[in-house]
């Protein structure tokens, strides 16, 4: 498949899941184009937090979307160091560092995208500790671990940046929390810069995925002119276009 065909197939799958979530009232109206908040997000976070993988993790990296807010909040309550991606990777230091031992505001405020921007320092990969557990937001995911984000490519870039820096290692677990309706039976198209998840957690079940795939790091040929223009940390890889 060409890149255009892959992008089209991904968008078809996303739209199907967004429509299903709204029709079944598993998400509030307005999910199109977003990592969807879903009914039971708190229960999925609690299920994740009961797993050994969670208990053993000391350093967690999460996406900033509202759907994973309960996971980020649980991380701080459990005393874990949390790195949260700056929305759209829009700063030269693209991760917030949220340390529960030093925060001076309620965790409920610090773990929102707006709250973190006001109270948390931003850090570059060079200033971060190795990550034990990555939390990714998803629009759709299958039982093999292939996932789709909302289509902007930010999660894939965040993972690639941390792989480049040696902070995501072969034993680092990547998990996603989703509604059961977001799990699809069909195959999902993947490219070299896509990662798969090791673990899917819903309000009702936990699914281990086989044979996780990881990008080798940043793939310069996959960077678009928009990425080069709007994501400062990518300038070192991006050719002028």
**Structure confidence by residue, pLDDT tens digits, 3-31:** 788 889 999 999 999 999 999 999 999 99
Residue 122 counted as domain residue:
yes
* pLDDT for res 241: 41
Residue 53 counted as domain residue:
yes
* pLDDT for res 21: 98
| Cβ count within 10 A of residue 50 | 11
* pLDDT for res 224: 75
Residue 169 counted as domain residue:
yes
Residue 229 belongs to domain spanning: 3-236
pTM: 0.93
- The two most distant CA atoms of the chain are separated, in Å, by 51
Residue 96 counted as domain residue:
yes
Residue 84 counted as domain residue:
yes
Residue 241 counted as domain residue:
no
Condensed to tens digits (0 to 9), the pLDDT of residues 153-188 reads: 889 999 999 999 999 998 999 999 999 999 999 889
Residue 150 counted as domain residue:
yes
Number of folded domains in the chain?
1
Residue 55 counted as domain residue:
yes
* CATH code of 135's domain: 3.40.50.10420
* pLDDT for res 20: 97
- What percent of the chain stands above pLDDT 70? 96
Given a cut of 70, the residues of the chain with pLDDT beneath it are 1, 219, 222, 237-241
């Amino acid at each position: 498949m060409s890149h255009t065909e892959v992008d089209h197939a991904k968008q078809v799958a996303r739209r199907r899941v967004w429509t299903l979530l709204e029709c079944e009232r598993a998400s509030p109206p307005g999910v199109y184009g977003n990592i969807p908040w879903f009914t039971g997000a708190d229960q999925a976070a609690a299920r994740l937090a009961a797993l050994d993988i969670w208990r053993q993790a000391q350093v967690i990296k999460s996406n900033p979307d509202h759907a994973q807010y309960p996971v980020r909040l649980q991380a701080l309550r459990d005393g874990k160091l949390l790195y949260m991606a700056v929305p759209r990777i829009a700063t030269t230091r693209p991760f917030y560092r949220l340390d529960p031992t030093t925060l001076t505001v309620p965790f409920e405020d610090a773990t929102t995208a707006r709250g973190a921007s006001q109270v948390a320092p931003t850090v570059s990969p060079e200033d971060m500790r190795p990550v034990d557990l990555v939390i990714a937001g998803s629009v759709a995911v299958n039982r093999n671990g292939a996932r789709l984000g909302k289509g902007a490519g930010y999660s894939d870039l965040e993972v690639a940046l941390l792989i480049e820096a040696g902070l995501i290692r072969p034993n680092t677990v990547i998990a996603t929390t989703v509604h059961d309706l977001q799990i699809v039976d069909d195959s999902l198209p993947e490219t070299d810069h896509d990662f798969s998840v090791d673990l899917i957690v819903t309000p009702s079940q936990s699914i281990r995925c086989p044979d996780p795939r990881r990008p080798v790091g940043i793939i310069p040929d996959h960077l678009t002119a928009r990425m080069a223009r709007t994501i400062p940390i990518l300038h070192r890889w991006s050719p002028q276009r």
